[in-house]
Structure 1
């Protein structure tokens, strides 16, 4: 029989996709007001993978990843996605989104994104939000899966997430060695 155990706290990672990089400070500030201070920010990455967003958001598009200090409960992911959806609406102008926010969490063994779109590999969480197992950590690297979006499968993204994983592992080890209880801090 398996015995239920509390889940490990996770590292909150939010991807931003936008056309106008000048929005970064305002969007970043709004995210920090909701989820706490930033721990890391990735480099700007080009987004040449699809034209799906271009009609609404313009082109070219750029991706930037933000990582927040501390931990979140894995169960908070649906609520976090609802909050980022509300922020997308806040930054909408003339019926067009100017930023697309992809919240997710990172653990030692995986990277999970939240989405409002159902599909065969996605697990329902709550309030119309699903968890998308995006990358798994094996053989010393994050590995894409057949359904992983190309930008998350890209070498630059996986290298950045490996840095985040290193920070996460060090923070978890420090907490364990201090004998502190591990729990999330955002909802």
Structure 2
């Protein structure tokens, strides 16, 4: 029998998607107020890999990542996903944009070995966490690079995204609070 132990802290990663700069800024403010200063913030990348969101979010979407400076407990992911869903609804109700979903927030976390994303949708490769929230390992880090799975979204396979994830992974490795 193995010994039960607490998981090592991880770095919270939240993907923000919108066609509105004001929405990106609003989300960054919410995230840093709730979770503390960012350890890293990516550029606002053009999000062109899919038209899945066009009917609810419009066109010319941008995607930006924020990674927390302070580590979190990975067991908090389901609560964080529920919170970011509340923020999406709050922004939609107050912003007055014509799209039914002008802001998308996708939280997850980074460890030295993987990038995990939360979801409200079940699928064969997702594990139930709690309170209607599932999680999936989206990327694994092996042999000094990120590796995708059959289910990994195409944008998470982009070199510029993965470069940002590697920089963020380095923050985790250098953080004395994570025990890495």
Report TM bin, short chain.
over 0.9
User: Do residues 119 (structure 1) and 123 (structure 2) align?
Assistant: yes
Offset at residue 95 of structure 1 (A): 6.8
Offset at residue 159 of structure 1 (A): 0.9
Query: CA-to-partner distance for each residue in 1:10-48, whole Å, 9 max, x for gaps?
Result: 000100111112322222111222221112100121111
Q: Which residue of 1 aligns with 2:65?
A: 65
Equivalent runs, 1:1-187 vs 2, <5 Å: 1-92=1-92, 93=96, 96-171=100-175, 174-175=176-177
Distance in 1, Cα, partners of 2:69 & 2:170: 14
Distance in 1, Cα, partners of 2:177 & 2:3: 24
TM-align CA RMSD? 1.4
Distance in 2, Cα, partners of 1:136 & 1:65: 18
* Deviates most, 64-73 or 19-28: 19-28
Structure 1 unaligned blocks of 5 or more? 177-181, 183-187
Distance in 1, Cα, partners of 2:167 & 2:66: 12
Distance in 1, Cα, partners of 2:27 & 2:34: 11
Distance in 1, Cα, partners of 2:33 & 2:177: 25
Offset at residue 98 of structure 1 (A): 1.1
Please state whether the residue corresponding to 1:77 is helix, strand or coil. helix
User: Segments of 4+ in structure 1 off by > 6 A?
Assistant: none
- Tell me the TM-score normalized by structure 2: 0.92
- Tell me the TM-score normalized by structure 1: 0.89
Q: Which residue of 2 aligns with 1:185?
A: none
